[in-house]
Amino acid sequence: MACADAQAHQAFRDTQCAKLAVPLDHDAVETDTIDLFVRKFPAHGAPRGELWLIAGGPGESGASFYPFVDTLRAAAPGYDLIVPDHRGTGLSTRLCPEEESNGSPGGMALEGAEWGSCIGAMHANPRRTHSFSIGNAAHDLSLLMDRLGGDGRRYLYGVSYGTQLVLRVLTTAPPARLDGVILDSLVPADDDVRHDLSRRSQITDRIGRQVLRDCDAQPDCSRYFNQPLEQEVAELLTDSELAKPLGPNPKYTLAALLDFPRTRAMLPFVIAGLRRGDTAWLDHARAELGNIQQSFSAFPQFGSSIPLVSLISRSENNRRPAQTAEAIDAEEAGLLFASPLPRHLLPGGFPTYAEPDDLGRMPEKMPPTLVLHGKRDPKTAFAGAEAYVARLQKSGDVTLAASENAPHYLLMTDPDFVSQELTAFLGE
């Protein structure tokens, strides 16, 4: 049926929406149900098939795809774009319905006292909380595809955490029919102890240093410095006065600039400016990050569910659950760039559930699969993607297409590359 918010945004005008009730726990179907929200952007002209778009996170809603609908329509003409919100995100049932609603003080985000009441409710009803797992989300997706899918060709496109969810679907709950899979920014295998979330800072630092060395190799960039840029950054970080504009966590601020090509290109100029006490380039880069955020925030359901991120990340994607704050301090001491994510994995606060017994199991059969990954990805390591693809190739036809300079989420950061590869993969 037509979406209730069809007039809220230009992109929504011809969309169709549905809410389906599914079991809270697919292993105990007689239990309570939750609602899953799905939005369809119909193909222009006669439809040839469906492209199901599976968002990342794990706390992101399908709204993270909305700004790129035109890119996907051009790359996949004739395909309906079907975008579900994971359980716990967007307009689907949330982990903390009272606190994560548009009518609450913080809207869909948590604010003030909502943090305490949300976490308290999660602890008070562990059975419900533990049902918001990757395994149940995988069964959700398979069920949605079988119930709502048409008769044409059918493809799954997952990004970041969405790649993990798609692969869990293929492992534990394959849909009745699937013609192919596209995995954008492939997360490491569930049992990959070298590239899991607890090592995000090391991955980020490796990419940051590569970017600095790229500058060293380019006369138009290196002419602003008298020594290798890694040394410039190291000296900047040890000067508390010059580093002060970067905020309380300078390494996190520098790392944030690596996420997008435009801000990454500004990084050498940010450093050169700060070394002489000038914040103009830093201010420019921060404004650009704000502009990128604004392009998503036009959609009310956009935003990450921190309760869901914490629950799944701590339960299934942390290979070092005994890590301490002191150990993280020691690891960050030798880095120039770092991520706050490992600290969010520390014990305490949000609850966790036991990781599944089949964690790390590979799909028995892979449909034709295209993996899109950037070699300058500071979030999901390219080396991890290469290793995972080599394992997945034992189960089917899996091709890795690498963008030389793209960071994370290639549909956003290198859309021309994605369009070319996706069009060829679909055979259009």
Per-residue pLDDT of the chain (428 residues; tens, 9 = 90+): 788 887 777 788 889 999 999 999 999 877 799 999 999 999 988 889 999 999 998 999 999 999 999 999 999 999 999 999 999 999 999 999 998 887 777 778 888 899 999 999 999 999 999 999 999 999 999 999 999 988 899 999 999 999 999 999 999 999 989 999 999 999 999 999 999 999 999 999 999 999 999 999 999 999 999 999 999 999 999 999 999 999 999 999 999 999 999 999 999 999 999 999 999 999 999 999 999 988 777 777 777 899 999 999 999 999 999 999 999 999 999 999 999 999 999 988 889 999 888 888 999 999 999 999 999 999 999 999 999 999 999 999 999 999 999 999 999 999 999 999 999 999 85
| Burial class, 137, CB count within 10 angstroms (exposed 0-12 / middle 13-18 / buried 19+) | buried
Q: Let me know whether 87 and 202 are in one domain.
A: no
**Residues 118 and 159 placed together within one structural domain of the fold:** yes
Peptide bond into 58 cis (omega under 30): yes
Number of domains in the chain: 2
Specify the pTM. 0.95
Q: Is residue 335 part of a domain?
A: no
Which segments of 297-349 are extended strands (E)?
Answer: none
Task: Identify whether 310 is part of a domain.
Answer: no
Beta strands in 340-395 (DSSP E): 366-374
Query: Can you give the residue range of the structural domain that contains 151?
Result: 10-194+355-426
Domain edge (last residue) among 297, 320, 339: 297
Number of residues in the chain: 428
Q: Quote the tokens at residue 370.
A: 């295209």
Both 40 and 179 in one domain: the answer is yes
Residue 55 resides in a domain: yes
Same-domain pairing of 27 and 115 = yes
Domain boundary residue among 255, 274, 297?
Answer: 297
Beta strand 79-84 pairing with 153-159: unpaired
CA dist 92 and 58 (Å) reads 14
Mind giving me the DSSP string for 96-108?
STTTSSTTSTTTT
Same domain? 64 vs 33: yes
- Please report whether residue 306 resides in a domain: no
List phi, psi (to 5°) of 59. -100, 0
The DSSP line for 111-168 is: -TTHHHHHHHHHHH-HHHHHTSSHHHHHHHHHHHHHHH--SSEEEEEEETHHHHHHHH
Task: Name the residue among 346, 381, 388, 51 with its Cα closest to residue 206.
Answer: 381
- Asked if residue 226 and residue 177 are part of one domain, the reply reads no
Q: Is 247 left (phi over 0), alpha (psi -120 to 50) or beta?
A: left
Give the CATH number, domain containing residue 102. 3.40.50.1820
Quick one: 207 and 164 in the same domain?
no
Residues forming a β-bridge with 40:
16, 82
Residue 326 lies in a domain: no
Q: What is the CA radius of gyration of the chain?
A: 22
- Residue 86: inside a domain: yes
Judge whether 39 lies within some domain.
Answer: yes
**Cα distance between the two ends of the chain:** 29
- Where a domain ends, among 297, 312, 333? 297
Co-location of 180 and 203 in the same domain: no
